[in-house]
Amino acid sequence: PKMSMTGATLKVAAGVKAYMQCKATGDPAPTITWDKDGTPVHLLSSRYSVNKDNWALRVFTPQIDDVGNYTCTATNRLGVDKTTYTLLVMVQPESQIVSPSNLTVMELTNQQLVCRSRGVPRPFFEWLIKNNPPIRADTTTQGNVSLKRLYSIEREVDEHVYESVLYFQPVNYKDFGNFACVAYNDIGHSRVRASLDVLFSPKVLSDHSSLQPVVWWEGHPTNLSCVVAGNDVPEITWFRNRKRFTCNKLEEWEEASQITSSCIVSHPLILDGGPGVYSCRAKNRYGKTPVHEFHVRENFPPAAVEFSTVSVKPDEVVLAVKIPKKRDTPPATYVLASYKLAGDVGGVPNPEYERMGDVDKQGEGTVKLVGVRENSEYVVKVRARNSVGFGPETVSVINTALPPAATETTPWMSTISTVMPIYDNSYDEDVNQLTNRRDDVRQLEFEESPEALGVRSSAYCLRIYGGCWFCPTNFMFFISWILLVLRCHCVS
């Protein structure tokens, strides 16, 4: 016999009919038979059918078990000829968890999960774990020892059957939850789930440093909080100065394996609260642990303000304030000054006004009192405020009398003060003083009549340094100065 067909490799998807031809010639005519891997196909499955007209083999709805070598044999009394086809059925992976799909384990023990899959072509695996990137076959191994705590390996256990083993070395309490094993090849993928329940002693989830003090002050309750996870759910106990303590107000709530305990610290006379060293401890049947230690310190309002008047102007007084430093006292943010006229009018209290002023980090600053009357007395109260509250008031009476006006001194004015004393409305006394200063002053004739100068005819005019004229009168002193400015052009 002589085969007229050449064998080949056929790839078909699962469920799609496969067709293999077989043609042979010979004399006498050969007998045609089909076998799969050495076993006649008619003995294997009813899904195999041989066409008696052309000896073609049909495989209906191929499955993964149909993968193999199919041989067509032509035989007569003179000899034998064969041709072979290789059938590959492309099968999407089918997976299962071999180890228990619901595991309960203790933390810090070594455990493994096994996922098995069958498929063509060979499937590959990845594990999906909460809050972690997919875990694939580990390549960072030395022999059988992995360099990672959580890793997987893959192995072939049978024809077209493979496994992925996920190792926990060891189990961490955060590993509890659901896992997914995904097997995939070019045809598709399958997914199976497993759950891991981890029994563990209490774990601290909240963040607090014992070096960071917690502040408290009267009238301001302080909230101390401990957040702990545990399986089973822990019980939290509070202590103050190393003695068991009943919180003024205790709030607790649970979520999954997590518990939050919030202790409200209130007045020291109520249930032994107030400043002290507080701590919370957690315990369940798998262990116990200290959680946090809180150093609660009492804070105070600012000390009494020291203040003084730094300037008095028409309608305004500026106060300088200083807040003495005091231990356990937060810095003041501002000062508040209230002020009113001293005394009452007809039994009716005077209105009181308030002004705020900023202070710097050293506790110093200023505050302006506006709308004040001149030459009056005011009752002023000043107090400072910080995060705790207002400090005590400092009370004082201030006077709003304006200080004497400052006179700017120039060279020609200095000369005037040398030759002429300040006048005090005593005309005769002024004349006598002028007469006695003949060495410095000489009487001069008027260039203009005294009436033209707008002064009394009995006035004297003096030529002073620089050729300026000055005519004192018994008008008020400031009128004489005005005349000096109008009459004299002090250009030497």
* CATH code of the domain in which 175 resides: 2.60.40.10
Query: Could you write out the DSSP letters of every residue in 61-129?
Result: S--GGG-EEEEEEEEETTEEEEEEEEEEEEEEEEEEE-S-SEEEEETTS-EEEEEEEEEES--EEEEEE
Query: Could you write out the DSSP letters of every residue in 447-458?
Result: SS-TTTTTS-TT
pLDDT tens digits for range 193-236: 999 999 999 999 999 888 888 988 887 888 999 999 999 999 99
Residue 336 and residue 370 in one domain: yes
Cα→Cα distances 125→130, 157, 340, Å: 17, 14, 85
pLDDT score for 216: 86
Number of domains making up the chain: 5
Asked if residue 241 belongs to a domain, the reply is yes
Q: What backbone phi and psi angles, to 5 degrees, belong to 333?
A: -100, -30
**In the listed set 167, 185, 200, which residue is the last one of a domain according to the structure?**
200
* Residue in this structure with the two tokens 């070598």, named with its chain if needed: 69
pLDDT tens digits for range 427-476: 344 434 434 443 333 333 333 334 334 433 333 444 443 344 444 444 44
Residue 290 and residue 310 in one domain: no
pTM: 0.56
Residue 36 and residue 116 in one domain: no
Residue 226 and residue 285 in one domain: yes
Asked if residue 445 belongs to a domain, the reply is yes
pLDDT score for 347: 77
pLDDT of 131 strictly over 60: yes
Under the banding of pLDDT at 50, 70 and 90, the label for residue 139 is: low
Asked if residue 173 belongs to a domain, the reply is yes
Residue 103 and residue 196 in one domain: yes
Under the banding of pLDDT at 50, 70 and 90, the label for residue 348 is: confident
User: CA-CA distance, 17 to 19, in Å (whole number)?
Assistant: 7
**What mean pLDDT do residues 249-271 have?**
82
pLDDT of 398 strictly over 50: yes
pLDDT of 15 strictly over 60: yes
pLDDT of 159 strictly over 50: yes
pLDDT tens digits for range 298-309: 899 999 999 999
pLDDT tens digits for range 350-362: 999 999 999 999 9
User: CA-CA distance, 189 to 93, in Å (whole number)?
Assistant: 6
Query: Could you write out the DSSP letters of every residue in 196-216?
Result: EEEEEEEEE-S---TTS-EEE
Query: Could you write out the DSSP letters of every residue in 413-449?
Result: HHHHHHHSPPP-S-HHHHHHHHHT-TTT--B---SS-
Residue 103 and residue 191 in one domain: yes
Under the banding of pLDDT at 50, 70 and 90, the label for residue 271 is: low
pLDDT score for 299: 92
Asked if residue 406 belongs to a domain, the reply is no
* Residue in this structure with the two tokens 């309002």, named with its chain if needed: 301
Residue 126 and residue 191 in one domain: yes
Asked if residue 109 belongs to a domain, the reply is yes
pLDDT of 112 strictly over 60: yes
Asked if residue 150 belongs to a domain, the reply is yes
Residue 209 and residue 196 in one domain: no
Asked if residue 132 belongs to a domain, the reply is yes
Q: What is the chain's mean pLDDT, rounded? A: 82
Higher-confidence residue of 470 and 295: namely 295
**In the listed set 298, 316, 342, which residue is the last one of a domain according to the structure?**
298
pLDDT tens digits for range 116-127: 999 999 999 999
pLDDT score for 272: 61
pLDDT of 153 strictly over 70: yes
Instruction: Name the percent of the chain lying above pLDDT 70.
Output: 79
Under the banding of pLDDT at 50, 70 and 90, the label for residue 349 is: confident
Asked if residue 470 belongs to a domain, the reply is yes
pLDDT of 321 strictly over 80: yes
pLDDT tens digits for range 241-256: 999 988 888 999 999 8
Residue 102 and residue 192 in one domain: yes
Higher-confidence residue of 258 and 449: namely 258
**What mean pLDDT do residues 58-72 have?**
93
Residue 105 and residue 84 in one domain: no
pLDDT score for 430: 43
**What mean pLDDT do residues 131-159 have?**
77
Residue 281 and residue 351 in one domain: no
**In the listed set 59, 91, 123, which residue is the last one of a domain according to the structure?**
91
pLDDT of 180 strictly over 60: yes
Range of the domain at 323: 306-399
Residue 381 and residue 430 in one domain: no
